[in-house]
Amino acid sequence: MEIAIAGLAGCQAVANIRRGIQLRPSTRDRLVPPSLPIVETFHSLQGEGLHAGRSAFFIRLAGCTVGCPWCDTKHSWPASAHPLRPLNKLVGEARDAAAAGAAFVVITGGEPLHHDLDGLCTALRQASHSEGGKGADGGLPAGQAQQTGLPLPLPLHLETSGVDPLSGQFDWITLSPKRHRPPPTSCWRPASQLAGGGWRPPASSP
Ligand code: SF4
């Protein structure tokens, strides 16, 4: 696992935590939502961080209680103001975006970890593996698709403030902690490996 710091404006110190991180054990017996409240989905270029400029499919989940005064997505705060979208519909949209050139999926918000993301991540990964990414590779089986060097399955990225325990499995996590709601160390212990400047979890936190 590789951890790097990338600076962002304001109070945001961002830790990009790379590759296959799962910070709590899988909880198969938990209820996994079949749908999630969605503010918007869109295919665009990543605008910040080490992946800036790369083509990505964004899923902006609704709901945030962190309450940053400078927030530029306050419309995302009330989850109930946004319609639920089934996971299979989100998977279909991600597949279409992959066919159009998206290199990865970004799950953002709002605060996406207010929701259990196990189901969404599993659905996105299973679809990539089982359907071979229709469009981008002409519908080849996953094994063949990977042999051709096509970008399957799409890597999953998460953008979070870290106020909630991690759910889901991600290839890249952008942690943007807030001073007024710091992430609990128990949830983000790997961030203690951060080097250089920026946010670090307090050593005495639970
Ligand atoms: S965590 Fe993000 S979405 Fe939530 S209030 Fe802060 S900046 Fe806005």
User: Residues with beta carbon inside 6 Å of ligand 1?
Assistant: 64, 66-68, 71, 73, 76, 109-111, 161
Q: What per-residue confidence (pLDDT) applies to 179?
A: 87
Q: What per-residue confidence (pLDDT) applies to 193?
A: 29
Nearest CA, atom 7, ligand 1: 71
Angle between helices 87-99 and 118-131 (to 10 degrees): 50
- Cα–Cα distance, 62 to 50 (Å, whole number): 25
Domains of the chain, start order: 2-24+32-176 (3.20.20)
Task: Output the DSSP codes for 51-108.
Answer: TTTSEEEEEEE----S--TT-S-GGGS-GGGS-EEEHHHHHHHHHHHHHTT--EEEEE
Reported as half-sphere exposure (CB side, CA atoms, 13 A), residue 146 has a value of 9
pLDDT in tens, 40-55: 999 999 998 888 899 9
- Cα–Cα distance, 113 to 11 (Å, whole number): 20
Ligand 1 centroid distance, CA of 153 (Å): 29
Q: What per-residue confidence (pLDDT) applies to 185?
A: 62
Ligand 1 binding pocket mutation candidate from 64, 114, 115 (most atoms within 8 A of CB) = 64
- Cα–Cα distance, 186 to 150 (Å, whole number): 37
Phi-psi region of 149 (alpha: psi -120 to 50; beta: other; left: phi over 0): left
Nearest CA, atom 8, ligand 1: 71
pLDDT at 135 over 70: no
Residue 36 near residue 86, CB atoms below 8 Å? no
CA-163 nearest atom, ligand 1: 1
Ligand 1 centroid distance, CA of 47 (Å): 17
Q: What per-residue confidence (pLDDT) applies to 62?
A: 98
Nearest CA, atom 3, ligand 1: 110
Mean pLDDT of all residues belonging to the chain: 73
Rounded mean pLDDT, 81-103: 94
State the sign of the Cα–Cα–Cα–Cα dihedral 104, 84, 164, 118: negative
pTM of this prediction?
A: 0.74
